[in-house]
Chain A
Amino acid sequence: MTAWLFRPVPRARVAWLRMLLYAFIWADVLALRPWVRLHGDVPGILYKPLAIGNLFHLPTPTHTFTTTVMVLLLATSAVCATGRSPRALGTLVAFLYLEWMVIAFSYGKVDHDRFGFLIALFVLPTVGAASFDDHEPDERAGWAVRCIQLGAVATYFLAVIAKARFGHGLLTWMNSTTLLRAVVRRGTFISDPLMHNPWTLHVTQWLIVAMELASPLLLVRGRPGRWMLITLVTFHAVTFACLTIAFWPHLMTLLAFVPLENLKTPNWRRVRHRLLSNPPAARARAG
């Protein structure tokens, strides 16, 4: 079990994960969840602190506080995306993002796609220095990647428990009209026709539970793991087409299953040289 948890992984994968996950924070804060920032302007009376907020006496978000957390989070994640200060600043990013989530979810609605991403932010700093061309297998990198993977699997597998708990039993949930109601609430031109054939949504609910129960296959090396990953990515793409819902931070954690270390090492010097020798303004003039 311990050997499996610490199975070495090339440090290059951690370098890639850092760049992609820290860069994602910018997309998340500025484009995907812009409403978090607005919570600083919501009347304080609507603040409904989470257990973690009560435990650590976290402040009621104000405009200044929310803006400060956002600026610090963006600045530190930008530095970390370049691979600098992976331990100290990386840890700071993890805590700032956690606080950003507390600001997001303390007003009556909690999203459920953050667990794996938070795990990733807390374990990535523990690896220490990692570069794109460092193909040396490393136990610390292995443990960090494994934890992110376990976070992703937990998100699927434990969702079955939630369906049994909150859906009056798993069988009741599978035979309910949960998806139909979701389509009524936020269907698209792709999913609206399904309302006329509700059996399609009924069958989909059975398939979703089967898929979530099978999610530990992600951890199996080789073909089973690859197929499970393809199945899940397809599921998320279809969900987005039908309900315009995507669990973006969770999707980022699926990258931990991809052998990113096989990607070509980015040659930053060449990228910089190209940009500087042919600036966009000159290109526009030439065009």
Chain B
Amino acid sequence: MTVTSRRARLAATVVVFGLIVAGAFVGTDHDFPFGPFRMYSTSGRSTGAVRTAALRGEWRGQRVEVHSESIGIRRAELEGQYDRFLEDPRMLAAVARAFRDEGVRLDRLQLIVVIRRVVDGHRVGNSTHRVLTEWRAKR
């Protein structure tokens, strides 16, 4: 190997691994691929709630089973964009349109948070839910 190509490789190593170390200390997911390795990195209290996102659809007063995965949106992607869903009603409207394009008819769509209780590290009771935001078809 020539001295130049050795130096180039050394420099690339320092830059790339320098960026990933910096990302670990000060980066966010937004900095992919140099963001922090934050899989399962948050702390859950031994008493509290486990919250997951879900969609709840209706057509003429009847519940319609809807799963965001069927239109290409993962549950965690709903959770990662809560703020945008709350700020911009067009987001949920667009999701409803995507279901319509898949042949699922809806006149009401809710983004909900399913809540399961944990007390002293044990799961207790049934799950409940809270509506975050809602879309209704224009009549």
Q: Are A105 and B97 in contact (CB under 8 A)?
A: no
Question: Distance in Å from the Cβ of B16 to the closest Cβ of chain A?
Answer: 7
Q: Which range holds the interface residue count of chain A?
A: 35 or more
Q: Are B46 and A177 in contact (CB under 8 A)?
A: yes
Known: A46-B94, A52-B32. A109 touches B9 (CB 8 A): no
Most buried by B among A43, A50, A172: A43
Question: Distance in Å from the Cβ of A134 to the closest Cβ of chain B?
Answer: 16
Q: Are B80 and A109 in contact (CB under 8 A)?
A: yes
Which of A69-77, A161-169, A251-259 lies on the face that meets chain B?
A161-169
User: A191 CA to B137 CA in the complex, in Å?
Assistant: 42
In the complex, whether A30 has a CB less than 8 A from a CB of chain B is no
In the complex, whether A195 has a CB less than 8 A from a CB of chain B is yes
Q: Are A108 and B50 in contact (CB under 8 A)?
A: no
| CB closest chain-B residue, reference A168 | B43
Question: Distance in Å from the Cβ of A101 to the closest Cβ of chain B?
Answer: 7
In the complex, whether B95 has a CB less than 8 A from a CB of chain A is yes
Question: Distance in Å from the Cβ of A39 to the closest Cβ of chain B?
Answer: 6
Which of A85-93, A113-121, A225-233, A275-283 lies on the face that meets chain B?
A113-121
Contacts of B35 in A (CB 8 A): 110, 112
Question: Distance in Å from the Cβ of A116 to the closest Cβ of chain B?
Answer: 10
In the complex, whether A139 has a CB less than 8 A from a CB of chain B is yes
| CB closest chain-B residue, reference A205 | B40
Q: Are A162 and B38 in contact (CB under 8 A)?
A: yes
Known: A5-B10, A5-B13. A48 touches B84 (CB 8 A): yes
**Which of these, B37, B40, B98, contacts A41 with CB under 8 Å?**
B98
User: A50 CA to B32 CA in the complex, in Å?
Assistant: 7
Question: Distance in Å from the Cβ of A49 to the closest Cβ of chain B?
Answer: 9
Q: Within residues 1 to 27 of chain B, which ones have a CB less than 8 A from any CB in chain A? A: 1, 5-6, 9-10, 13, 16-17, 20-21, 24-25
Question: Distance in Å from the Cβ of B111 to the closest Cβ of chain A?
Answer: 12
Known: A6-B1, A176-B44. A98 touches B33 (CB 8 A): yes
Known: A109-B80, A158-B37, A162-B41. A6 touches B94 (CB 8 A): no
| CB closest chain-B residue, reference A182 | B40
User: A39 CA to B121 CA in the complex, in Å?
Assistant: 37
Contacts of B69 in A (CB 8 A): 35
B interface residue numbers (CB < 8 A to A): 1, 5-6, 9-10, 13, 16-17, 20-21, 24-25, 29-33, 35-46, 50, 52, 69, 71-74, 76-81, 84, 88, 90-91, 94-95, 97-98, 116, 118, 121-123
* Across the A-B interface, the 4 shortest Cβ-Cβ residue pairs: A38-B72, A108-B80, A176-B43, A43-B94
**Given known contacts A46-B91, A178-B40, A178-B42, what 13 new A-B pairs fall within 8 Å (CB)?**
A5-B13, A48-B84, A51-B31, A109-B77, A111-B39, A115-B37, A155-B37, A165-B25, A166-B36, A167-B41, A177-B45, A180-B121, A185-B50
5 sample A-B contacts, Cβ–Cβ < 8 Å, listed by A number: A38-B71, A52-B32, A107-B77, A139-B6, A158-B37
